[in-house]
Amino acid sequence: MSDEFGQEQAIRKLAPGKLVIASHNSGKIREIAELLGPYGIEPISAAALDLPEPEETGTTFIANAELKAMQAADLSGLPALADDSGLCVEALGGNPGLFSARWAGPTKDFGFAMQKVWDGIEAKGPDAGHDAHFICALALAWPDGHVEAFEGRVDGTLVWPPRGDKGFGYDPMFVPLGYDISFGEMAAEKKHAMSHRADAFAQLVKAVF
């Protein structure tokens, strides 16, 4: 991280204790809590604190993660961690990308969202590729406005019909490179070892603990 003069600043360390998970997505909260378990962190969800969900006006995953983390830290008076993640499909020009959650509609129906993705690929014709990747941006903010951000990625291909009932979101249609099962079929421990969120977390853990 650099200051306004371009000088490198030391990354701030996170002390054990309470940390707000700035999300109302139960699946995402569960994954983050499991990843934080070994580090003496007591996760509290934004929903449990009745914190509002900010409008995601950023133009990058990191920008959206930062605005969510900073609002949660400001309103709670505690450090806050936010995740902004999405599925980027090459055949769809990178969509749904930043709008991955919005494709699921107000009821967060990811069965509908996955169908929309697949219909979009099929509309491109038989030569459309199935390559895709997940991006996860993590932002860790403190009440004084300090923020650290990290971004992870995992590449894979899309399958249809969706497979498995584990994970959440688009997991059942995404098969990571080097595997023959989808995230929806993969045990949580295995996914935690190699997902986009795991990649971002590995960077965060190395930096702040």
Predicted confidence (pLDDT) per residue in 97-148, tens digit: 999 999 999 999 999 999 999 999 999 999 999 999 999 999 999 999 999 9
* pLDDT over threshold 90, residue 158: yes
* pLDDT (0 to 100) of residue 5: 41
Is residue 9 in some structural domain? Answer: no
Higher per-residue pLDDT: 11 or 115 = 115
- Distance between CA 91 and CA 117 in Å, rounded? 10
* pLDDT at site 102: 94
Q: Where do we find the tokens 């920008």?
A: 63
- Domain of residue 134, residue span: 17-208
Q: Which of 155, 197, 156 is nearest to 34 (CA)?
A: 197
Q: Tell me, what CATH number does 182's domain have?
A: 3.90.950.10
Q: Tell me if 3 is assigned to some domain.
A: no
On whether residue 2 sits in a domain, the answer given is: no
In a domain, 129, yes or no: yes
**Catalytic residue list:** 84
pLDDT (0 to 100) of residue 30: 86
Number of domains in the chain: 1
Is 12 a domain residue?
A: no
Evaluate whether residue 165 is within a structural domain.
yes
- In a domain? residue 176: yes
**Per mean pLDDT, which of 3-12, 46-55, 91-100, 200-209 is the most reliable?**
91-100
Torsion of the alpha carbons at 149, 63, 132 and 173, rounded to the nearest 10: 90
> pLDDT grade, residue 75 (50/70/90)?
very high
The reply to whether 11 falls in a domain is no
Provide CB contacts within 8 A for 162, sequence distance 6+: 111, 114, 172, 173, 182, 184
